[in-house]
Structure 1
């Protein structure tokens, strides 16, 4: 796993390796969305979904002739009561895109912007936006061709990713250059290697902007990467439990059947499976009770598993439904002005996951400390082998707690923020985008904490007279350096981090 500042870096092939993800506005999964973002799949638009988008577009045109629609026949925000002349609606839309394309900060990595494109295309196919279907075609063409808009980091507050989608809109109509996804610079491609520019029509601008597509895409990516790490945690915690000859009683199936939280039961079952333990493990370990890092692992880690499942559920609801304001009724009978763009469910799910992740990360750091304690392992302090005073794995605690501090900062709930905008008309915000960025940061930090524990657990088991013959140890021991002399452990942690996805698959 690549843990650079931009997250995992993958070079999307233009053909997606032959794998296709069907966009139909109703059934896109978080996993399929990630495949589109990573370029391991290409989109295919379901004909029925495109027909639904056509009907929505035509319905919006009919409704606009019968009365003003917000953002089409009016200004937006505090300008909502300012009428726009019918012959100025197209120009008004262009001004709307230009004025809202004021994103700031660093450019986002291609992976996140591709996720935005996939989310927005699928949402538009749900048929509530009233946008012309040519925008769906251009969004999916961009994914297939390996190009993406330049999108800045800051601009959304969880009431619609306005700046990101305005920048996307200006790129779709040909006012801004496309970036080459493989090289992250303006695409030096022939015209037939770029999406055809879309001609902006009345109503298109706000219809495109009314979405939290960027935050949803980032949330899906964070969920995917965290799902890998949370599964890998079972293997790492199991190795640590074996290294301290811990009691398996805390993982017994009857314990978790009586307090039936799905995540806790799953965490306990995975540790039993990875160590080859029965549902009712016999006897105790070296102690009648272990420290919390081992004894309370299923309870803490189970919360993270449950929170990750909750986030996936929220993401999959949001990417498969129309949230545009105004919302064109499916039967074309009317348009509803509403607050479905307010991303409170997403922000709260992300914040909840960050808090749960902090809980299990703190136990990982606690297990790392325990692995350096001779009273728990029966081994040398800090697993040092060499002259008296050798430091062994001592520094790993510092690295883990440095990353843990990042996790702790990321767990400060973004949804607790507050903003009053547009002359007081918008007096609250969910800050879902900020929550998504915090979860992405927390994911990278958690990988480091877990990798530090893995390095120490493998070293401890190597020093045991009889290491457990389990696949997790065999795999990790084959990959990690075998030397126990005092030396820089950066390479060991890097190797351990890269090993986590393989452990997740055991």
Structure 2
């Protein structure tokens, strides 16, 4: 069942915030986003905390009577080296210190907060076997706005161990925090940064260290944030496509219900249905009186947008499973009093789903540039080339094709399949890598490029509709979208820089998402 959201006043980074009960089973992508943004604040569920306590007790008993990876042994190629009982407590901190080697730029607060939310919920699934106060500390940090310093690189898709070791050291009081009430990285003696909102240091030992870092919480957090933004942009793109369709007097036949019933792919059926609602088309529209068949940018929209929606659904299913999974190695099973060593941390499903999603989105963005080119053609708009004004040889929106093409180039580069990567690590013991971590970073980076491509189309579509003095029924979704765009985008059609126009159009896409959803 979904995590329970309770209306309650909060004191998180966004001020007043609803309460989200984490239970280790029902966290959703939108919940991760709301926790990252501070619009909800977390509270661990009572039953879930009981699972954590049972797992913690069982893990210590199991480790005291047998060999358990990472608790009574080393890790990686050191898995066969036993940790003496007298060194067990210090072993956990040494493991965190040695693995907290992430490199590169510091990650933004939003990504780190999403990481904390995912890890707290995963721990509440009850398979990690670490002390319950760690969950409480993570939730306290989310509520206060404090977040640890986490650097960008350190994972190859078999566990975000470097990033999570940094978080673990912060929880232990040995690594800097950021956020409200924090002003630096520590004193001259190397003490960790402190301030208002940092949770009390946790006494992490050999029973906590590996249990905490054996997760892909950062990769999943970044995947959730990227999916949420790009799904919204995908929906907004169809609204922009509908405006472009009106600007060229496009046919409705391509969205006819019988066309898609005859080839019943779920995503295409839904996109065609939504297009009919956006523009007020009949389920069985009459053929146009003019030209036969529009360019692919219009005629193939359901066949290209549909697979992207399907890919988003597939990715969301994978992310939802993983953010509610007890995937730590070893898995502590209190009912069996057993520690199961396994490879559940390996993120093949996530890497492949992310790669698939980006490839599908690139097709959608490329279709947007095709419609932009059509909008520049007098044969389709009955306007001057490039939607120019009446001055001789005016260039109008000509440059938008170049700008959109450049942004599309970045998007195409970000869409290279990360899952083709390979690594052999830890003296050959870990001889495969999913590179889901790279796939998640690439998907996040795709957001900005994709947004700009569609922003270019929106600027041109609104200019064409203005010049043709076309106004769809304001009660239709596409009519509401146009009125919104007209209120934001500059009506000056003289040759001038269009940078600000595209920036405004790109920002407007978030409101177009609400129109697509009927909100």
TM-score normalised by the shorter chain: which range applies?
Answer: over 0.9
In the aligned structure 1, how far is the partner of 2:378 from the partner of 2:471? 17
Indicate whether 1:317 and 2:321 are aligned. Answer: yes
Q: Deviations over 1:132-161 (max 9, x none)?
A: 111101111100010101000000000000
Counterpart contact for 1:24–1:45, Cα < 8 Å: yes
Q: Supply the distance in 2 between the matched residues of 1:130 and 1:467 (Cα, whole angstroms).
A: 62
Match of 2:107 in 1: 108
Are 1:346 and 2:355 matched, yes or no? no
**Partners of 1:170 and 1:286 in 2: CA distance:** 69
Runs of 4 or more, structure 1, over 3 Å off, are 12-16, 181-192
Q: Map Cα deviations across residues 228-272 of structure 1 (whole Å, 9 max, x no partner).
A: 101111110000111111111001111112212221112112221
- Number of aligned residue pairs: give it: 495
State how far apart, in whole Å, the 1-side matches of 2:256 and 2:465 are.
23
CA distance in 1, matches of 2:184, 2:459: 38
Q: Determine the C-alpha separation between the residues in 2 that align with 1:189 and 1:333.
A: 39
CA contact (8 A) 1:222 1:440 kept: yes
> Structure 1 residues 15 and 406, CA, compared in 2 at 3 Å: closer, same or farther?
closer
Pick from 375, 380, 389 the counterpart of residue 371 of structure 1.
Answer: 375
State the Cα distance separating 1:504 from its structure 2 match. Answer: 1.0
> Equivalent residue for 2:481?
472
SS of residue in 1 equivalent to 2:69:
coil
State whether structure 2 residue 41 is matched by structure 1 residue 14. no
Question: Residues 83 and 285 from structure 1, CA distance in 2 versus in 1: closer, same or farther, beyond 3 angstroms?
Answer: farther
Candidates 429, 433, 438, aligned match of 1:434: 438
Provide the residue aligned with 1:119 in structure 2: 118
How does the TM-score come out when normalised to structure 2? 0.93
Contact 1:219 1:436 in 2 (8 A): yes
Distance 1:385 1:295 in 2: 29
Which TM-score applies when normalising by structure 1?
Answer: 0.95
Cα deviation, 1:105-147, whole Å, max 9, x if unaligned, reads 0000000000000000000000000011111011111000101
Report what 2:37 is aligned to: 38
Alignment-derived partner of residue 467 in structure 2: 463
* Pairing 1:324-363 to 2, within 5 Å after superposition: 324-363=328-367
Aligned-residue Cα RMSD (Å) equals 1.7
Aligned match of 2:140? 141
Match of 2:310 among 302, 306, 313: 306
SS at match of 2:277: helix
SS at match of 1:117: helix
489, 493, 502: which one pairs with 1:493? 502
Question: Does the Cα contact within 8 Å between 1:75 and 1:82 map onto a contact in 2?
Answer: yes
Gaps of 5+ in 2: 1-10, 187-191, 474-478
Question: Is the contact between residue 392 and residue 484 of structure 1 (CA under 8 Å) also seen in structure 2?
Answer: yes
Corresponding residue of 1:248: 252
Equivalent in the alignment of 1:297: 301
1:201 Cα deviation after fit: 2.5
- The answer to whether the Cα contact below 8 Å between 2:17 and 2:38 also exists between their aligned partners in 1 is no
1:110–1:184 Cα contact (<8 Å) kept? no
Matches within 5 A, 1:73-84: 73-84=72-83
